[in-house]
Amino acid sequence: MELKEHVSVRDIFSMPVIVAALGYFVDIYDLVLFSIVRVPSLKSFGLGGKELIDYGVFLLNMQMIGMLVGGILWGWLGDKKGRLKIMFASILLYSLANIANGLVTTLPAYAVLRFIAGVGLAGELGAGITLVSEVLHTRIRGYGTMLVASIGVSGAILANYVANTYEWHNAFFIGGGLGLLLLAARVKVAESGMFKKMEEKSGVSRGNMFALFTDRGRFLRYINSIMIGVPIWFVVGVLITFSPEFAVELGTTGPVSAGNAVMFCYLGLVFGDLSSGLLSQLLQSRKKVILLFMLLTVGAIALYFLQGNRSPQFFYAVCAILGFAGGYWAIFVTVAAEQFGTNLRATVATTVPNFVRGMVVPITMLFQFSKGFFGLESGALLVGALCISAAFISLNSLEETFHKDLDYYEEFL
């Protein structure tokens, strides 16, 4: 099958797409692993009861703060030094950090290593999406980023299997080992032609993070690109991560495992990313599909809290529905990359998803604060309503980018 202008469907499965997808697969494995092993790992330090939530939030926040720092660092370097170098360096850092995490014996060391791993994890997705967006033809780049995200999020399924099969220290060892194995596949991937052309062009300012804040229009594009992804991480960071506690509160008839909740959520994300990507290509619109999946997210959250005293299997099915509804992650990151010129694209595509992940910090802090006043369920609903309302407003403000030519530069005064 051939697409117009001599673009082959086989181009979608080119080496940059495959390597970016595998890189994101390992990235997601390591990203969600702590949420899966939170309870057994903290119990091994002698913690229990309320401490499992409090220290769990603290360690998750350390990882997410690391991702905020890493997002800025890798994004800037991605536009300065190239997309491939950042993919290589970031995966090396988080692989080594996760191997070290398997050796941890104290909570302070656990926190430091989650921060370092977070810094490393921040570079993979943005660099991969930027590279794929720039090397694929306009007509098929949506398919490429769809494959990267849908294959990548399935790493959570492997993480749950490994965590349930092996002791939690070994689960970290395996994640680190997978990352180091992946580095060998990077060797044959070529750098983006757009970046190479920009590198040869004199007088082009690259990776200027401050430029995102010095122009009102550029700043609003940036903030709106971040906010449309926040509902996804409200779901993952609150409803899924703390699913055992919510299951008890909702009256679920049996115990619920956070690992299984994560696995079913990310299984839903796989099909959601595939569906949203295909629908985006069919409708030739990013915004319409994001709007549809945001509405699905509202419905899925309502189902989560209205399910009542159902079985754990029903609870996991709802987690899968939540994941499917959040399956606009691939399009969300693609939209962010398409909003900006080549000289800022890696900075934006890397920082935006990491700022969304980093929003887990204020989201979980607000959740802890609100549940103290309104209870677990009402507190979560309040936070979720704020996140989703902001996302709808931001989506309305962004331009449609499906047909946009990406070979241009941002001009700074």
Task: Convert the chain into a string of H (helix), E (strand) and C (coil).
Answer: CEEHHHEEHHHHHCHHHHHHHHHHHHHHHHHHHHHHHHHHHHHCCCCCCHHHHHHHHHHHHHHHHHHHHHHHHHHHHHHHHCHHHHHHHHHHHHHHHHHHHCCCCCHHHHHHHHHHHHHHHCCHHHHHHHHHHHHCCCCCHHHHHHHHHHHHHCHHHHHHHHHHHCCHHHHHHHHHHHHHHHHHHHHHCCCCHHHHHHHHCCCCCCCCCCHHHHCHHHHHHHHHHHHCCHHHHHHHHHHHCCHHHHHHHHCCCCCCCHHHHHHHHHHHHHHHHHHHHHHHHHHCCCHHHHHHHHHHHHHHHHHHHHCCCCCHHHHHHHHHHHHHHCCCHHHHHHHHHHCCCHHHHHHHHHHHHHHHHHCHHHHHHHHHHHHHHHCHHHHHHHHHHHHHHHHHHHHHHCCCCCCCCCCCCCCCC
Instruction: Name, in order, each residue with C-beta under 8 angstroms of 30's C-beta and a sequence gap of 6 or more.
Output: 94, 95, 98, 117, 121, 159, 175, 176, 179
pLDDT value at residue 387: 95
pLDDT value at residue 302: 95
pLDDT value at residue 200: 59
Q: How far apart are CA 197 and CA 199, in angstroms?
A: 5
pLDDT value at residue 204: 57
pLDDT value at residue 192: 53
- Contact (Cβ atoms closer than 8 angstroms) between residue 142 and residue 334: yes
Q: How far apart are CA 399 and CA 348, in angstroms?
A: 16
pLDDT value at residue 2: 39
Domains, the chain, ranges and CATH?
A: 11-197+208-397 (1.20.1250.20)
Query: How many residues are given for the chain?
Result: 413
Q: What is the pTM (predicted TM-score) of this model?
A: 0.76
pLDDT value at residue 260: 87
Q: How far apart are CA 347 and CA 202, in angstroms?
A: 19
pLDDT value at residue 203: 57
- Contact (Cβ atoms closer than 8 angstroms) between residue 70 and residue 90: yes
What are the pLDDT tens digits along the chain (413 aa)?
334 444 556 667 777 788 888 888 888 888 888 878 888 888 888 888 878 878 888 888 888 888 888 888 888 887 777 777 777 888 889 899 999 998 988 899 999 999 999 999 888 777 777 777 777 777 777 788 788 877 887 888 888 889 889 899 999 999 999 888 887 766 666 555 565 666 556 555 665 777 788 888 889 999 999 999 999 989 988 999 889 889 999 999 899 988 789 889 988 988 998 899 889 888 989 899 999 999 999 999 999 999 988 999 999 999 999 999 999 987 888 888 888 887 778 788 888 888 887 788 889 889 988 888 888 889 999 999 999 999 999 999 998 887 777 776 767 65
